[in-house]
Structure 1
Amino acid sequence: MSTNDAHSRAAGAPAPAPVPADPVRGAARGTAPAPLSILDLATVGAGYTPAQALLATTTLAQSAEQWGYHRFWVAEHHGMPGVASSNPAVLLAHLGANTTTLRLGSGGVMLPNHSPLVIAEQFGLLEALNPGRIDLGLGRAPGTDQATARALRRGRADGAEDFPQQVAELTNFLDGSFPSGHPYERLTAVPKGEGRPPIWLLGSSGFSAQLAGHLGLPFAFAHHFSGTHTEPALDLYRSSFRPSAVLDAPYALIGVGAVAADDEQQALRHARTAALGMLRLRMGVPGPIPTPEEAEAYPYGAAESEFMDSWIGNLVLGAPGQVADGLESLRKRTGADELMVTSHIHGHEVRHRSYGLIAEAYGLTAQA
């Protein structure tokens, strides 16, 4: 119980609402529509400040809770002016204090950038503050350029190839389960509550898919920027899966880029702002998410136009009904247990409305 909860109880306030069951933790599956969740990066658009972006993310999380979204994840990125979520643990602590039942998590923490003990402490603390509401999603990419990655790691030799060992070490810190004789056998991450956040592995290729299967962990695939690899990665995850204390069967989530507006043309106009932002990132000139006018006026070359078309072609966009149908079609095609929509378009109000339209069309608001 947090200090605020204790004060509220002492004042006679009602107990907090119960946290909804998480399908990954053993609730019945297959009897209801697939859960729908949100991945947010605290997107900073041209003309906005990081403070405004973080306020918009907080407002979006509160609305997501009301609309009936299941999870709200934030991701670690560095050196990107268009992304304010550089430290998931700090942002999740703030979101936890401003929501009550919404599951919160990292999508993800880039584990090679950190000591496993530090992450175990951070997420153990988050779990203590928000019991039963925290997910710990782990990625093995740096989430930035190589120079920034070197600055983050300060000469540590650990890299993506050490990811399996880092995951094992992190798990042992969370559980206090190092074997006898291990240098860390007496160490447990503090604070340690009654429970601990479930670990997810994230990926955009087969490596993390296979590792998640071998470890019996839930797996989240980044379909939103690696759509051609989605089904092969999920097949590999399922074929590699070994039942564990965490899961008795595979549980796969896919991240999906989605934009809803009044009609398809408006949705496409907004989607082009995210696509141009990604194009600039790939060109080594990251910046705030451009405005629709900037995206329309940009002098695209042939290769740039091809990239834009390919990026937008991987999105689910259109009027609300089109997006809901597209999401359901993708879920059926991939067999995903859960969908996590994400949208890095310009304009906080436009982005907020897009998620609201999707929630209504997908039937979340009626369920909520």
Structure 2
Amino acid sequence: MNTNNIRLSVLDQSPIRKGVTAEQAIQETIALAKHTDQLGYTRFWVSEHHNTGSLAGSTPEVLLAYLASQTKNIRIGSGGVMMPNHSALKVAENFRMLEALAPGRIDLGMGRAPGTDRITASMLNPSNQFREQDFIEQLYELNNYFHDRGDPGTPQLKIRAIPQVQTVPDMWLLSSSGQSGLFAAHFGMGLSFAHFINPFGGPEAVAMYRDKFQPSADKATAQANVAIFVFCSEDKEKIRQHQALMDYRFNQFEKGGGLSPVSYDDIKDVEYSAAEMDRIKYNRARVIAGTPSEIKLKLTWLAEDYKVDEIIAITITEDFEDRLNSYSLLAEQFGLRD
């Protein structure tokens, strides 16, 4: 991989900052998509989460239609559609419609987790059995729908995903372990490793994916990237406060307390147990924060470790301007506008 020319992309979860409404959070996602489009980022993905008060992104297929109309060059996609919540046919129709609206600019990133708790997942899809085989069958079905083919003797042979369009979305599997990498290799799809979820084992999973990759009608060679929490600032105190907030959020989530919007002032005096400090040390590997020169060095190391030439940055800040500025500084460091 050529890490001398690293491409940057965005995964945005529409975070709801303290004192901000869900409507405002969505408007911030739209503003960020426009901003990173102008900066020269490669792709802008939005996520699917349910039953949470801290993230407003629940329906990427709806949000993407609007984002495509508000941007010009950046690829627009899901990071991802959580397949257990949907039928393969409905996903195929959603993303064929997006291809009709923005041909050649759509990414379909898919995950096999529900993006929520089990009870909510059962409400989203009452027939969900959380079986790995169901996910594999959905991937087969999606390929058939996108290429207007079916297996002889099956009902799917008679079903078409509407609208029938000439282009196919670029398909990616999202993974925080090695298993989905094997699925991506088998189906000839791209692989995006979620280092922001699991900071260990990623390079090995990507290497295994490349080794097992089977070319498909849509992708002749393996294509992988890595996603990580990133915060870039010229203000070292903001960097320190950002890390403290991320420490707190990870700790609350792991304790089952959910993720409610908080500010630095809310958590600055929190004291952690020895066990919590061990988890904080572990979780800090999920985040790269620093000044512009520090960030470039750390992200380049990450790309070299994974042997990829694309990094997806997820940035959640207390102040929206800091979020915009972080992506601007990254773009400058990697020469996206050169």
The offset of 1:280, in angstroms, is: 1.8
Q: Which residue of 1 aligns with 2:267?
A: 295
**Which residue identity is paired with 2:158?**
R
C-alpha spacing 1:46/1:31, structure 2 compared with 1 (3 Å): closer
**Which residue identity is paired with 1:73?**
W
| Residue 74 of structure 1, aligned match among 46, 50, 54 | 46
| Residue 200 of structure 1, aligned match among 163, 166, 172 | 172
The offset of 1:90, in angstroms, is: 0.9
Identity of aligned residues (%): 36
C-alpha spacing 1:289/1:336, structure 2 compared with 1 (3 Å): farther
The offset of 1:135, in angstroms, is: 0.3
Q: Which residue of 2 aligns with 1:250?
A: 222
Q: Which residue of 2 aligns with 1:150?
A: 122
Q: Which residue of 1 aligns with 2:257?
A: 285
Q: Distance in 2 between matches of 1:289 and 1:272?
A: 14
The offset of 1:32, in angstroms, is: 6.9
The offset of 1:265, in angstroms, is: 4.0
Q: Distance in 2 between matches of 1:161 and 1:307?
A: 33
Provide the TM-score with structure 1 as the length reference: 0.87
C-alpha spacing 1:275/1:302, structure 2 compared with 1 (3 Å): same
C-alpha spacing 1:32/1:321, structure 2 compared with 1 (3 Å): closer
The offset of 1:169, in angstroms, is: 0.8
SS at match of 1:357: helix
The offset of 1:112, in angstroms, is: 1.1
Q: Distance in 2 between matches of 1:274 and 1:98?
A: 30
C-alpha spacing 1:215/1:337, structure 2 compared with 1 (3 Å): farther
The offset of 1:268, in angstroms, is: 2.8
Q: Which residue of 1 aligns with 2:147?
A: 175
Q: Distance in 2 between matches of 1:185 and 1:32?
A: 46
The offset of 1:65, in angstroms, is: 0.5
SS at match of 2:200: helix
SS at match of 2:153: coil
| Residue 162 of structure 1, aligned match among 109, 134, 137 | 134
Q: Is the contact between residue 5 and residue 309 of structure 2 (CA under 8 Å) also seen in structure 1? A: no
Structure with the bigger RCO (C-alpha within 8 Å, sep 6+) is 2
The offset of 1:337, in angstroms, is: 3.1
Q: Distance in 1 between matches of 2:6 and 2:109?
A: 19
Q: Distance in 2 between matches of 1:111 and 1:92?
A: 17
Are positions 1:101 and 2:73 aligned together? yes
| Residue 321 of structure 1, aligned match among 279, 293, 296 | 293
Q: Distance in 2 between matches of 1:318 and 1:256?
A: 14
**Residues 57-68 of structure 1: pairs in structure 2 closer than 5 A:** 57-68=29-40
1:260-299 deviations in Å (ceiling 9; x for gaps):
1114442131133233223222222223332122231223
Provide the TM-score with structure 2 as the length reference: 0.95
C-alpha spacing 1:158/1:226, structure 2 compared with 1 (3 Å): closer
**Which residue identity is paired with 1:298?**
V
Runs of 5+ unmatched residues, structure 1: 1-28
**Which residue identity is paired with 2:179?**
F
Q: Distance in 2 between matches of 1:135 and 1:59?
A: 20
| Paired residues, number | 338
